[in-house]
Structure 1
Amino acid sequence: MAKTALLVMDVQRDVVELADDGSGYLPRLRTAIDAARSAGIPVIYVVMGLRPDVPDAARSTRIIRTVEEAGLFTEGARGSEIHPDVAPLPGETVVTKRRAGAFSGNDMDLVLRTHDVDHLILTGIATSGVVLHTACRANDTDLPFTVLSDACLDLDPEVHRTLTEKLFPQWAEVTTAASWAESIAR
């Protein structure tokens, strides 16, 4: 029987510190995580992880240079850990990616097939990064998805608004964490 999975993407300590605007992002995300767990929906965590000295990324790439200069996403660094307010439970899957999208340089396809997943619920930081790249991949491969707009966050609120109100609705359902949690509790 095919099913839905909740993806919690790039909600790592350093990223939360940079992006959290004090609007209650982590509690909203926690609402979605708790609802998924209660409904038996797999929660799959996706983290960005670059090896120290970044041997797996071309420094000629602007975003990789920016990430490296900021000291973000280094495997094993405390700042690269999943934020403790939304940390995985023992047995929940954590997938490490090497680029922006949840499917980049990892076994995400295998993880989804193993769980018989045919619908994704997207959350994470940043809306213009991991959420957008993952949405593009899902859209290109005809994998249905839903975006929880208030369980996504971006450094640029206008970009977040444009993506969640204009682009993503062309491809998928866009709703809030509370509305989604209520819909799966029925």
Structure 2
Amino acid sequence: MGHNSTATCALVVVDMINAYGHPDAELLLRSVRDVLPGVRTAIDSARAAGVDVIYVNDNFGRWRSHHQELLDMALQGPHADLVKPVAPDEDALFVVKARHSIFYQTPLEYLLQQNGIGHVVLCGQVTEQCILYSALDAHIRHFDVTVVEDGVAHIHADLAQAALRMMERNMGAQLRSAEDLPF
């Protein structure tokens, strides 16, 4: 694979199904509101292009959770307005994760290989945590990586800027706006 612009893409939506009950939520919420239009644009573009949209979401420590339970919990929470616009449709794929990376102990790599996907486009949260670690894990697995620059939310703006620079410089990630995605 490795830097093949013709590689089949998938949009990966990271941790957007969220009840925002965690310690850093207040810092994160403002950024999520700012990037919500970018995430929505990326999802709409992928759906329109027939590109796989794969939600990879934290399980909030609920080991019996499946995606509908996680979605219902988030939609019943105080910030449903941040979840509803980017909720999965009936064609979306869904992978539950327990830790920061979308690849750690998940079937995502196998799913991507089965679907012939060599290029992941990442949006969601948190830029300086799950997005950064997922981009690294994608890079070391020889997937091409694009990060939707206006579709990733942060807790700490300075760390997010550094993370974006690291992804671009050290992992060969393309930083693109939601209006300019490779599908």
5+ residue gaps, structure 1:
55-74
Q: Secondary structure at the match of 1:6?
A: strand
Q: For the structure 1 residues 152 and 15, does the alpha-carbon distance in structure 2 shift closer, same or farther, using more than 3 Å as the test?
A: farther
Residue 19 of structure 2 is aligned to residue 20 of structure 1: no
Residue 180 of structure 2 is aligned to residue 179 of structure 1: yes
Deviations 1:87-127 (A, max 9, x none): 11113111001111001222111211221101000111101
TM alignment of 1:1-16, pairs within 5 A: 3-15=8-20
- Bigger mean CA offset, 12-21 vs 75-84: 75-84
TM alignment of 1:27-38, pairs within 5 A: 27-38=37-48
Q: Which runs of at least 4 in structure 1 moved beyond 3 Å after TM superposition?
A: 15-18, 79-82
**TM-score normalised by L of structure 2:** 0.78
5+ residue gaps, structure 2:
1-5, 64-68, 77-81
**TM-score normalised by L of structure 1:** 0.77
Report the counterpart of residue 66 of structure 2 in structure 1: none
Q: For the structure 1 residues 112 and 80, does the alpha-carbon distance in structure 2 shift closer, same or farther, using more than 3 Å as the test?
A: farther
Return the match for 1:49 from 52, 56, 59.
59
Aligned length: 161
- Larger CA Rg, structure 1 vs 2: 1
Give the partner amino acid of 2:176: T
Give me the identity figure in percent: 26
- Whole-Å separation in 2 of the counterparts to 1:94 and 1:129: 20
Deviation of 1:80 (Å): 8.4
Q: Secondary structure at the match of 1:13?
A: coil
Deviation of 1:26 (Å): 1.1
Return the match for 2:74 from 79, 91, 103.
79
Give the partner amino acid of 1:138: A
Q: Secondary structure at the match of 1:179?
A: coil
Give the partner amino acid of 2:16: V
Report the counterpart of residue 149 of structure 2 in structure 1: 149
Deviations 1:9-31 (A, max 9, x none): 00123249642316531111100
> CA RMSD of the aligned region, Å?
2.6
